[in-house]
A and B are shown apart, each in its own frame.
Chain A
Amino acid sequence: GNSVTQMEGPVTLSEEAFLTINCTYTATGYPSLFWYVQYPGEGLQLLLKATKADDKGSNKGFEATYRKETTSFHLEKGSVQVSDSAVYFCALSSFTGNQFYFGTGTSLTVIP
């Protein structure tokens, strides 16, 4: 079956620190992989995605590379800002895109 396991939080970092949030997956077939971000009081927004192995998704300074050999899609950012404080969800979708599977979310707090 399909599932996503992501690093548990909460994570607290100082401004300008390096961020890594780990995500691994189990899937049948060839899934697409996503990171969504949820700011306080809001719904989820797509942060980045990768649709095939070795693809790198990037947005707003965040990056993640689809690694089929390690079944991973780790989120990274070189220098976090206070405004990056949010909950981050790793997700995969089936080949048809009809259903998503989410990780449990990782809360990030960035302090000045």
Chain B
Amino acid sequence: DVKVTQSSRYLVKRTGEKVFLECVQDMDHENMFWYRQDPGLGLRLIYFSYDVKMKEKGDIPEGYSVSREKKERFSLILESASTNQTSMYLCASSDRGRVGYTFGSGTRLTVV
């Protein structure tokens, strides 16, 4: 069964900490995405990547960065966590030229 795996389901971090959220897919997909999900706002795209070492800003990149050193892994980095980054973070991947995302189970991050 194909999978997108996010390393943590729940995470609690302190304000100012550097936070790494990891996402790994086993489907050899070119495209990977990071979203955050907040009540009433739906899913908002943070960053995406179409290939190794490539990254593109989404709609809300401020306060975040990403790393894609290997095709299967796409990391989201909160450089200095703040309480307004408390959210559910969802990773997804898709195959270039084919339609449809596969999502991970999500990481619920709380910044205190």
Contacts and interface: CB of A to CB of B under 8 A. Distances in A.
Interface stretch (A14-22, A58-66, A73-81, A92-100): A92-100
Contacts, number: 56
B64 interface: no
Interface in B2-57: 4, 6, 31, 33, 40-43, 45, 48, 50
B94 A98 contact: yes
Given A42-B106, A43-B106, A44-B90, A97 B100 contact: yes
A103 B45 CA distance: 12
B70 interface: no
A102 B92 CA distance: 13
A105 B42 contact: yes
B51 to A, nearest CB: 11
Nearest to A42: B105
Contact of A104 (B6, B42, B97, B98): B42
A51 B97 CA distance: 13
A34 B100 contact: yes
Q: Which of B4, B6, B106 has the most CB of A within 10 A?
A: B106
A99 B105 CA distance: 19
B97 A89 contact: no
Contacts of A104: 40-42
Interface string A81-96: 0000000010001001
B104 A43 contact: yes
Nearest to A32: B99
Interface string B93-112: 01111111111111000000
6 contacts: A36-B103, A44-B92, A44-B101, A44-B103, A46-B100, A93-B99
